[in-house]
Structure 1
Amino acid sequence: MILPKAFNKSWNVEKDGPLIKFEYDALQNTGFSDEVKQFLSLAGLPETPAPYLDFTSSQGVLKPITSIFSMPEEFQNCWFLGSTASGDPICLIRETENVVFLDKSNDDKRVFINSSINQFAECLLVYSIMLDKAVQINGEDAFIDNDIPEPVITWLKERLNNIDPKCMGNECFWTTEVGSFYG
């Protein structure tokens, strides 16, 4: 599992964009572990990483999604981080510290992304590296043209599975993302 300093060192701000860091003091009363608080405050999350995710809307503040959007009380343990390309909220679940997205087109069903914020960040990093590999082999438009070479897809699947085996489960975010390369 990647630590905040290693993530900061590995994330290429010039190529992949800046990181949004959360204020440690503002995270104190959230009920999250020190590990989550340290990761979000020391490493942060990329503003707009591939695959078309957006963390700018959180503005570096972690809040229950029910305080931002009108949602049933059952979602009060979901803390808003950002959104997917479809506008689905990406959340951190307080009790488990899992990262999920709420599928708006499916009654806000929780779709698993990663087991921890550290693993989520590491998967984003690996995804960025995969894009670089695809561009090296198939040119600048490899991702846009969905022209990811099979060996690169295989490498990505293996890396994602090594980082967080649960993230490659059935109907999970990363499984769907990797599957889209075959479409």
Structure 2
Amino acid sequence: MILPEEFNQNWDVSKNGPLLKFSYEGLKNTSFSDELKQFLSIGGLPETPPPYLEFTSSQSSFKPITSVFDMPEEYQKYWLLGSTGSGDPICIVENKESIVFLNNGDDYKEVFINSSLNQFAECILLFSEMIDKAIEINGEDAFIDNDIPESLINWLKEQLERVDSNCIKEGCFWDIEIESLYE
């Protein structure tokens, strides 16, 4: 599992954009593990990493989604991190510390992303690496044009499974992203 310091070293800020870090002081009174708090404060999250994720809105505050959006109390266990390219909220589940998105097109049904924040960060790095390799092979617009060699998609799938075997199960976020690369 990737450590926050390793994530910082491996994320190319000049090419992929800044990392947003949360104040450890601001996280102190949450019930999350020290490991998660350290990752958010030392490693942080990329502002707008692939595949079309956004964490810019989450830097100012890390709160339950119910304090940001008007949602039923049953959603209080979800802490907002950012959003997917479709505008679905990406959250940390309070007691499990797993990463999910809430599908706004399906009554905010929970969709699994990763088992931990560390694994989520590592999967983002792998996806970025896949894009870089596709660009090397098929040119600057390879990702935009969905011109990614099948061997590279298979490599990504194997790497994601190595990091978190649960993340590529059918219907999970990374499985959906991999399937879209085949289209």
TM-score with structure 1 setting the length: 0.99
Are 2:60 and 1:95 equivalent residues in the alignment? no
Q: Partner of 1:170 in structure 2?
A: 170
After TM superposition, give the deviation of residue 62 of structure 1 in Å.
Answer: 1.2
Task: Give me the whole-angstrom Cα distance separating, in 1, the residues matched to 2:143 and 2:151.
Answer: 15
The answer (yes or no) to whether the contact 1:20–1:60 under 8 Å persists in 2 is no
Contact 1:22-1:41 at 8 Å conserved across structures: yes
Task: Trace 1:133-144 onto structure 2 (pairs within 5 A).
Answer: 133-144=133-144
Question: How far apart, in 1, do the equivalents of 2:148 and 2:111 lie?
Answer: 25
* Cα distance in 1 for residues equivalent to 2:91 and 2:21: 16
The answer for the alignment partner of 1:25 in structure 2 is 25
What is the match of residue 128 of structure 1? 128
Distance 1:60 1:101 in 2: 19
Query: Which residue in the other structure is 2:148 paired with?
Result: 148
**Aligned residue runs from structure 1 range 67-86, under 5 A:** 67-86=67-86
Q: How far did residue 174 of structure 1 move?
A: 0.2
TM-score (norm 2): 0.99
Instruction: Kindly indicate whether the alpha-carbon contact (under 8 Å) linking 1:23 and 1:61 is maintained by their aligned counterparts in 2.
Output: no
Unaligned residue ranges in structure 1 (runs of 5+): none
Offset at 1:60? 4.5
CA shift, 1:170, in A, is 1.2
Aligned equivalent of 2:51: 51
Which string of whole-angstrom CA distances, capped at 9 and with x for unpartnered residues, describes residues 19-55 of structure 1? 0000001101110000000000000000000001000
2:180 corresponds to which letter in structure 1? S
In the alignment, the residues of structure 2 paired with residue 64 and residue 132 of structure 1 have an alpha-carbon distance, to the nearest angstrom, of 35
Instruction: Percent identity, please.
Output: 63
Q: Which residue of 2 aligns with 1:104?
A: 104
Amino acid at match of 2:20: I
Q: Give SS of 1:135's match.
A: helix
SS at match of 1:175: helix
Question: C-alpha root-mean-square deviation of aligned residues, in Å?
Answer: 0.6
Paired amino acid for 2:34? D
Give, as a single letter, the amino acid of the residue that structure 2 aligns with 1:148: I
Structure 2 Cα separation of the partners of residues 61 and 168 of structure 1: 30
Q: CA deviation at 1:59?
A: 2.0
The residue type equivalent to 1:155 in the other structure is: W
**Paired amino acid for 1:181:** L
Letter aligned with residue 164 of structure 1: D
CA contact (8 A) 2:150 2:182 kept: no
Gaps of 5+ in 2: none
Q: In structure 1, how many angstroms separate the alpha carbons of the residues matched to 2:114 and 2:154?
A: 19
- Give the secondary structure class of the aligned counterpart of 2:105: helix
- Would you identify which runs of 4 or more consecutive aligned residues in structure 1 move more than 2 Å? none
